[in-house]
A and B are shown apart, each in its own frame.
Chain A
Amino acid sequence: MENKRNKYMNPYLAGFLIGLMMIFAYYYAGEGLGGSGAFKKVVISGVDAVNHDYAKNATYFASSVQEGSSSPLNSWLIFEVLGVIVGAIISAAYFGRLTFKIGKSPNITNKTRIIAAIAGGLLWGVGSQLGRGCTSGLIMSGMAVNAFSGYVGLAAVFGGGYLFAYFFRKLWI
């Protein structure tokens, strides 16, 4: 059998597919695709479950956890991200990529990669909340409707990436 695990969809075709999904998202739901929004809902419902009295009085949580409102998990972004998970698994299974691996440069250790992954995740966690979304929810969904916010995000995230790339090159090349 031909080994497909290093094969990828044509990038323009993959982009076109994602673009179509974005159009459907705006057409049906009136909002764009998201990534970090689902994480936010998970954190909100987790904190609410642990300490409801705190959550209903803290600004960040209050609007989502008042008595009588439906669970933060019963939301468009959560169902969308559940779909993303299923879609990714279908695709990875098709290409034979559904195995445990650590993705990294051969020049760094697994430990270094894991620490960097956690640190990167922390930065995205804070950034996505401060900036009202991540690559999907802020930038791509913004660009889809010519929103100024999407282009500010685009310039800052990719600009920041190129700005800092030199200092972290040993992680990748």
Chain B
Amino acid sequence: MGPLFPQELISEPVNLLIAFVIGTGFGIGLEAGGFTNTRKLAGVFYGYDFVVLKVFFTAAMTSAIGLFLMNNYGLIDIQLTFYPSTFWIPTLIAGLVMGLGFIVGGFCPGTSVCAAFTGKIDGMFFVGGVILGILGYSLSYDKIFKSLHLSGGMGKVNIADFLGISNGLFIFIVTVVAVVAFVIVTKIQKKVNSKDPVPAIEELGL
């Protein structure tokens, strides 16, 4: 039963090899989905290209549904994973900072790695910015960020428990919302691009 590595059912070298294979699949999905193209990424905020929303929510709900079913049928015990703890205050503030970073920089860290290593020069500079940002944060952590970083701690909170509903119902609701959103954004995208088209990505040769 999974997760295998935390229960020492696979060795560390095997775990690292699997990490590489899983990463390869992730990288193919990101590049093939168009995530090295910064204008496709930014499009989600301006209505001319919703590829981010479609890929992202499909990935999130595929994994949520899959892991929920595997947990129910005893193929994995979610309790044994490195389940994320919630620190809502720093996460909320940091999320807004990252949202601003998305609009200004046109990537997030994972997509910028794909972009930088496939020849996107702006992606390379973005990667440099991320490293400088982490360096600045890490060197000033004790003086500036420590107390904020540790504030708002709630422990390992499951959102369905938090809302007082079952995991299955919560996933079902989010999936329905996602599918409805897919239909609506496809319509918005057509409308935006027919009325006032931004120069087609194809014309830019990206």
Contact = CB atoms under 8 A, between A and B. Distances in A.
Contact of A148 (B5, B27, B132, B157): B157
B206 A157 contact: no
B61 A24 contact: no
B37, B102, B201: most-surrounded residue (chain A CB, <10 A): B102
Contacts of B60: 19, 139-140, 143-144
A83 B130 contact: no
A164 B110 CA distance: 21
A88 B33 contact: no
Interface residues of B, number: 136
Interface in B87-127: 87-88, 90-115, 117-123, 125-127
A136 interface: yes
A118 interface: yes
Contact of A33 (B22, B38, B115): B22
Contacts of A97: 31, 36, 118-119
Contact of B108 (A15, A35, A122, A154): A35
B158 A148 contact: yes
A82 interface: yes
A144 B64 contact: yes
Contacts of A25: 19, 22
Given A87-B24, A147-B157, 6 more contacts: A30-B80, A91-B32, A123-B101, A131-B91, A143-B174, A152-B92
Interface of A: 5-6, 8-9, 11-12, 14-36, 38-40, 42-44, 46-47, 58-61, 74-77, 79-92, 94-95, 97-106, 113-114, 116-136, 138-165, 167-169, 171-173
The 7 closest A-B pairs by CB, nearest first: A120-B105, A125-B133, A121-B129, A160-B99, A156-B95, A83-B23, A87-B27
